[in-house]
Amino acid sequence: MIRSNLVQIAMEVDDQGIPIKKKDKRFALFFYVYDPDTGEEKQEFAIVDGRQRACDTIMEMQSCAQIDIMKSQVLSGSVRCDGVNEIVFDKTISCYTFLRYCVDPDYFGDDIIQFGNDGNGNFFTTEELNTFVLSEYEDILFEMGIYSEDDLNRFYKCDFNYMEYVPAEDLEE
């Protein structure tokens, strides 16, 4: 994989020549939460600024509620109306894919987001995130046709590129 790092060649400054700090990107987080009292799925959402806060919010929701990390979505693009009084969210990815993207050194090098502190100052890596998801969401993954880390890696690539994930057994037919 060829990777080039972007070099900042210009900087926006105010009238006094002081660099203007860019605002963090805003993310809409849409969670599918299982309510153990009713046995039903409900939806919750949050609007946050910055990748760090988005990761922290996903992990907070994961620890205090039974969210479907594969079905829950992160939106950072635009929203459009389809002409039939319905809002369409273009280019959403799963919370899992967003978390994995944020710890992927192929995209961020040393500037990855740190989340999932184990209490000893250790944070998730790609491998640790995969191990966590494979163990904590085994039932959900099984229903999706994700049985191994290879399947999870294929899901990530599909979801990241806005493509439908097809289980391996369905590809072989």
Is residue 9 in some structural domain?
A: no
Q: Identify each DSSP E strand in 83-122 by its residue range.
A: 87-89, 92-94
pLDDT at 23: 67
For the chain (length 173 residues), average pLDDT per consecutive 10? 51 71 82 90 92 95 91 78 59 94 88 88 93 95 96 96 91 67
Is residue 35 in some structural domain?
A: yes
Is residue 8 in some structural domain?
A: no
Is residue 2 in some structural domain?
A: no
pLDDT at 3: 47
Alpha carbons 150 and 59: distance in angstroms, whole number: 23
| Nearest in space to 34 (alpha carbons), one of 85, 79, 90, 72 | 72
The total domain count for the chain is 1
- 49 forms beta bridges with 26
pTM listed for this prediction: 0.80
| Structure tokens given for 33 | 């939460």
pLDDT at 171: 80
Q: Residue 106 sits in which domain range?
A: 26-171
Is residue 147 in some structural domain?
A: yes
